[in-house]
Amino acid sequence: MRLLPYGTGFGGVAVGVSCKGKFSLDAGVPVKEDKVILSHAHLDHTRYSPGKRVYATLPTLALSRILLTDAKSLDPSLPWTIQELQKSLTKAVYKPYEVSFELEGATITFFNASHILGSSLIKIECDNKELLYTGDLGTSSFLLDHWHNNVPKAENLIIEGSYLCEDRPSAKKEWSKLYMFLKKNLGSGPVLIATNAVGKAQEVLKFLINYKDSLPLNHIVLEGMAVDATKVYDDMLEYLSRSEVISWLNGSRKKLMDFVVVPKTLGERKNLARPGTVVVAPSGSLSGGMSVWWVLKGIRYVTMGHLFEPASKLLEGERVEIEDPLGNKGVVRGPDLHLKISRHASRQELFHFISKSGANRVFLFHGDKACLRSVAKEYGFEILEDGREVEL
């Protein structure tokens, strides 16, 4: 088995695999192979998959359609058409977790990665070799089961390193901060939670639903792509946590969308901009979407996780001019609260995963390069480098 990394950084990842035939793991950057196995739907893993023969879980395909359609509308220069996207989805092969299939002389199996709905660890067996690819490895969740009780064994491991050198505060403490912030401020005005449309938005919704009776919460407003993504979460019960499945079997499960208001007009939004309203809206980095419209209204707002510009500049204390989808512009202050909540595994979880996998060779990618080099040197790991072929 041979590996040819095309992209290993935060901008986009893809790793070509050669067995008897060839395929690529993810396509966040351009790849040569005609067949692509997607670990999950986020654009840094899927951006160049349209036009390819795609293999993934069903939720990954459904969420990819939403994200890729939006990406093309924002960037028409992407080298594929909506027709090619539709063709790839129509001809895609979707497989559930832990049901193996054959591809180009390799046996492929998906396992739950706990990152977002349908995200997969990908195990590859060919040429008497085993490879486990994490894509983005997840962390604790209100909606998804954790991977810790089902880590596949493999002699070779490719693992992401987003938080390999950073100790995050416990998720419980960060969610508690959000609870206390809402408890204190919701009675005097609306609060925006600016977050990613796929993954974090649904976690925020579940948190709000769990604690709605102890908060001065009257309305949850949901905006933009998060609406369609949340509908996918509601529909794909099989990929949600065991507790969600049991509540469905008991007849007590309510869908996330049952608790939200989706405004259609500016008038409806203005009417909802009152005490007791929480708005959940992308983009989490205030780079576009209706989160910008709400921030420009001057309401209190919360950000979370890793931020890109312009929100990253706001965290550094700068005042930044932003523009909403209607063309309104304004200079805004930083968030009232920033939470270090992520859908990526923590440093401790990453090392736990490595240990549980039993891998003899560990390859690091998708992280800060200086961090990866330091960890690789200390623990005897290897680093995947763009364009440098690896023989297993």
The per-residue pLDDT for range 222-261, each reduced to its tens digit, is 999 999 999 999 999 999 999 999 999 999 999 999 999 9
Tell me what the mean pLDDT of segment 262-280 comes to: 97
Helices assigned H by DSSP within 193-346: 200-211, 225-235, 242-249, 266-272, 290-296, 311-315
Average pLDDT, the chain: 96
- Give residue 347's pLDDT: 96
Q: From edge to edge, which strands make up the β-sheet containing 361-365?
A: 101-103, 106-112, 120-126, 129-133, 156-160, 361-365, 382-383
Tell me what the mean pLDDT of segment 285-303 comes to: 96
The span from the CA of 84 to the CA of 87, in Å, is: 5
Amino acid, single-letter form, for residue 87: K
Torsion of CA 264, 266, 268, 274, to 10 degrees: 140
- Give residue 23's pLDDT: 98
Tell me what the mean pLDDT of segment 3-15 comes to: 96
**pTM to 2 decimal places:** 0.96
Tell me what the mean pLDDT of segment 313-336 comes to: 94
- Give residue 320's pLDDT: 93
Give residue 294's region: left, alpha or beta (phi > 0; psi -120 to 50).
alpha
Amino acid, single-letter form, for residue 129: K
- Give residue 369's pLDDT: 94
Task: Residue 195: name the closest of 119, 295, 269 by CA.
Answer: 295
Rounded to 10°, the helix 225-235/200-211 angle is 70
Tell me what the mean pLDDT of segment 377-381 comes to: 97
The span from the CA of 256 to the CA of 189, in Å, is: 23
Under the banding of pLDDT at 50, 70 and 90, the label for residue 355 is very high
- Tell me the CB-side half-sphere exposure of residue 299, using CA atoms within 13 A: 30
Indicate the burial class of 302 (C-beta count within 10 angstroms; 0-12, 13-18, 19 or more): buried
- Give residue 211's pLDDT: 96
- Give residue 253's pLDDT: 92
The span from the CA of 333 to the CA of 317, in Å, is: 8
In the chain, what percentage of residues exceed pLDDT 90? 98
The per-residue pLDDT for range 46-84, each reduced to its tens digit, is 999 999 999 999 999 999 999 999 999 999 999 999 999
> What domains can you pick out in the chain, each with its CATH number?
2-166+344-391 (3.60.15.10), 171-339 (3.40.50.10890)
The span from the CA of 294 to the CA of 270, in Å, is: 10
Instruction: Look at the block and give the residue holding tokens 């550094």.
Output: 316
